[in-house]
Amino acid sequence: MRIATWNINSVTARLPKLLEWLEGAKPDVLCLQELKVATDAFPYDAVRELGYETEAHGTGRWNGVAIISKVGFADVVRGLPNQPGYQADDALLPELEPRAIAATCGPVRVWSVYVPNGREVGHAHYRYKLDWLATLRQDIAEDAAAERPFAVLGDYNVAPTDEDVFDLAAFEGQTHVTPLERQALADLRAAGLTDVVPRPLKYDRPYTYWDYRQLAFPKNRGMRIDLVYGNAAFAAAVSDSYVDREARKGKGTSDHAPVVVDLDL
């Protein structure tokens, strides 16, 4: 069974790339993030022609998540059950953003997550990010402890270690690498999850994100922030994993690459 995750950075803008990748990589399950479309505007028909069904959760703004599956769906959950809202300075009430969706696909249960960016250390969005990660740990605890293979896949917006950024000095004082963010990831793993994409892979420093600016991709000035955290049953079934750098090449691509995990179930 092949399971993958990809921050698509607008499913509308990247639809040709998405369809091309699905035909080539042939995942059984694909978790998507940053759809930038409302739930009813997802291109369901286009992916259905390739044999996939989709469960999506979006509002048409900057967020949005989905799961695409060839092996069916059961027990779909949209949003973290105890999800915190983000309250911007000019907002009267907190907003519950579409950042998580879960489903059982065949023998595996997955969450597709798009963790808040955090913006700046000390910003309200940074505190929201930490609260969101703490809630994620709470809400996945039962699935993580189960015997059924289970994984949380997505754009975590945190580089777990210093080796997961091209130059730590370039991120000094910024989000994505702070001790509090990394501790939140460690707390999540302590709930019974393992990073199932090891380092090194088939090349050194398997980054998953490269900025569009300043030739970041050709210079490999990237970050590893798209992660696959699986429980014991999931991790034991992993037979291979890779970051598909080819999908990041060329024009009109997402600024993230897909992360692919093969399971022997």
252: three-class secondary structure by DSSP = coil
Regions in the chain scoring below 50 on pLDDT: none
Q: What is the pLDDT of residue 95?
A: 87
Domain count, the chain: 1
CATH code for the domain in which residue 180 is found: 3.60.10.10
Q: Tell me: is residue 34 an annotated ligand-binding position.
A: yes
- Between CA 247 and CA 204, with CA 175 as vertex, the angle to 5 degrees is 40
What local confidence, expressed as pLDDT, does residue 155 receive? 98
**193: domain range?**
2-263
CA distances from 31 to 27, 85, 118, 184 (A): 10, 22, 22, 22
Q: What is the pLDDT of residue 238?
A: 96
Is 131 a known ligand-binding residue? Answer: no
Please check if 155 is assigned to a binding site: yes
Task: Kindly give, in sequence order, each residue whose CB lies less than 8 Å from that of residue 181, ignoring residues fewer than 6 positions away.
Answer: 118, 129, 130, 133, 158, 175
In terms of DSSP bridges, do strands 108-114 and 150-155 run parallel, antiparallel, or are they unpaired?
A: parallel
Q: Is 187 annotated as a binding residue?
A: no
For the chain, strand residue ranges (E) read 2-7, 29-33, 53-57, 65-69, 74-78, 100-105, 108-114, 150-155, 194-195, 209-210, 222-223, 226-230, 238-243, 259-263
Q: Which residues are catalytic?
A: 114, 155, 256
